[in-house]
Structure 1
Amino acid sequence: MCLFVCMFSKNVKFCDIAVTAPAGFPDHPHRGFETVTYMLQGAIMHEDFEGHKGTIEAGDLQWMTAGRGIVHSEMPAAQGTQKGLQLWINLASKYKMIEPRYQEVLSKDIAEAEDDGIKVRVIAGEALGIKSPIYTRTPTMFLDFSLKPGGHLQQPIPNSWNAFVYILEGEGIFGNMISQPSNSHHILLLGPGDGLEAWNKSSKLLRFILVGAEPLGEPLVQFGPFVMNSQEEIDQTIDDFENFANGFEKARHWTSESQIN
């Protein structure tokens, strides 16, 4: 079983994923963007044609820059349902053909801060005076907030950025005090302004993520797992992948262990 709840915007694709073996994400290519995988429950094993291999467990983060090309697999590594979040973040045209790379952070190493009923895990960007060590080519914030009952948050967001909130658990009020409460699995798109204000007026914990990024202001064309700036570049990418060229050479003789088994 594999369940996706996805949101698309100009430069970001966001998915809430639940997957149970034998389902998963067998060998598939990417080019032109970054994937950010944040596990909430269970574990996913990652493997690619560059020889990179590892397991992302609950609370861990993987920030993968596909760049000019990668073929990889992502398959369940534990019993039961594996749950996580994944962002696709577009790369500016000058970065689309760079070499693939990874930034991986174990749960224990993710920057955290607490203040007055608020806890935050700073995956990218800055909150409560704490900065993430993750380097983002597209200026990005990715914050995991937990508000205790009675908690009140004010989080700055650059005025020109696009941002959204996704509620993981509980119920909260966002924007202003007279807004209707929103509960788990709701997405709230934020308009321009001074940032995010949120209140937890319930008797249970409120947990949500805040994602924001600076618009690139460039054309965008997506075809499946490829994100480029023009149809011509998409056509070239398909040709490169089918002919094992320009970044996909190693795909000719590679199959993931999970697919062999």
Structure 2
Amino acid sequence: MHGSESCSSGAFEEARMVVRKFLARPQHEGAGAVVRRSIGRFELRYFDPFLVLDEFSVTAPAGFPDHPHRGFETVTYMLQGAVTHEDFEGHKGTIGPGDLQWMTAGRGIVHSEMPAAQGTQKGLQLWINLSSKHKMIEPRYQEILSKNIAEATEGGIKVRVIAGEALGIKSPIYTRTPTMYLDFTLKSGAHLQQPIPVSWNAFVYVLEGEGVFGSSKSQPVTAHHILLLGSGNGLEAWNKSSKPLRFILVGGEPLGEPLVQVGPFVMNTQEEIDQTVDDFENFTNGFEKARHWRSGAATGVEF
């Protein structure tokens, strides 16, 4: 991504306006977990290449017990508390506040994600579609502890660069589907100009405070709203309130491919979905290890 120096100095040829916005309302998912789903619900089934965005709240014993994925990536970013994840490949770990897990499910993974601390665990999970040529790759993880996430501060703006580039710093995360994922905090009075590649789809999700996006004359938007951005080559945002504003800006290159989804399986054709369901039920073609595997969380074993 080029032109990050214009964050502080230049205006855009065309700033992106907000073309749609709505409030993500709480709903139940998994085993007793509560999520605010903004992408992947009836108002917005798919925002190429993004399949799901959940802001989740989980308090033990609730959680997301053993479940499969194929054909996309899950990006889990913890805001509060901790979650332990475990999969049938023997991969296991805990991500705490500010930590990131970027999981490429590829041809198949079965895993669990369960609370690992007292109280309520909160975070964001984003599902990013994979192109047809990447859907059946081997699963892999990229994990970054909070202390290792690239950060920059400039003119009342702080950014944590989860993927992509902002304020002149880059994330080490490799994105198969080209993606930017930026966590911004704006102090009162701060004004942000962040470049976004013209061809990409992009959205804002507000976490805390209230902000003005797209045009300085727009109405302020509060927490738990998603804003879909129209065409242009950057985002402008203002914090005109007295409290800090925190939001994520996410953008990605659209795949422009057919999409067939059944729950946690996302492929390009119905035939591929039927094959995936068959593979999962028969423990074949990437799901072999699911036959005898149960997570510690599922069997009540203490971590």
State the TM bucket, normalised to the shorter chain: over 0.9
Find runs of 4+ consecutive structure 1 residues off by over 4 angstroms. none
The aligned residue for residue 76 of structure 1 is: 115
Distance 1:177 1:94 in 2: 42
Aligned partner of residue 154 in structure 1, secondary structure: strand
Are 2:204 and 1:173 aligned? no
Q: In the TM superposition, what whole-angstrom CA distance separates every residue of 1:199-230 from its partner, at most 9, and x where no partner exists?
A: 01111100000011000011111100001001
Instruction: Report the equivalent of 1:93.
Output: 132
* Count of matched residue positions in the alignment of Structure 1 and Structure 2: 261
Quick check: 1:229 aligned with 2:260?
A: no
Query: Residue 67 of structure 1 aligns with which residue?
Result: 106
Matched, 1:25 2:64: yes
Q: Following the alignment from structure 1 to structure 2, what is the Cα–Cα distance between the partners of residues 241 and 42?
A: 32
Compute the displacement of 1:11 (Å).
Answer: 2.5
Question: Does residue 165 of structure 2 align to residue 126 of structure 1?
Answer: yes
How many angstroms apart in 2 are the aligned matches of 1:214 and 1:149?
A: 32
Find the partner of 1:11 among 46, 49, 68.
49
> Partner of 2:295 in structure 1?
256
| Residues 20-59 of structure 1: CA deviation (Å, up to 9, x unaligned) | 1111000000000000000000000000000000001010
**Alignment-mate amino acid for residue 228 of structure 2:** L
Q: Indicate the percent of aligned positions where both proteins have the same amino acid.
A: 79
Report the counterpart of residue 247 of structure 1 in structure 2: 286
What CA distance in whole angstroms lies between the structure 2 residues aligned with 1:239 and 1:113? 47
* Code of the aligned partner of 2:172: P
Shift of 1:5: 1.1
What does 1:34-45 correspond to in 2, within 5 Å? 34-45=73-84
List gaps (5 residues or longer) in structure 2: 1-31, 41-45
In structure 1, how many angstroms separate the alpha carbons of the residues matched to 2:237 and 2:227?
12
* SS at 1:167 equivalent: strand
Contact 2:49 2:253 in 1 (8 A): no
Counterpart position of 2:193 = 154
Q: Distance in 1 between matches of 2:275 and 2:108?
A: 12
Letter in structure 2 aligned against 1:11: P
Q: 5+ residue gaps in structure 1?
A: none
1:197 matches 2:228: no
Q: CA deviation at 1:255?
A: 0.4
Counterpart in the other structure of 1:58: 97
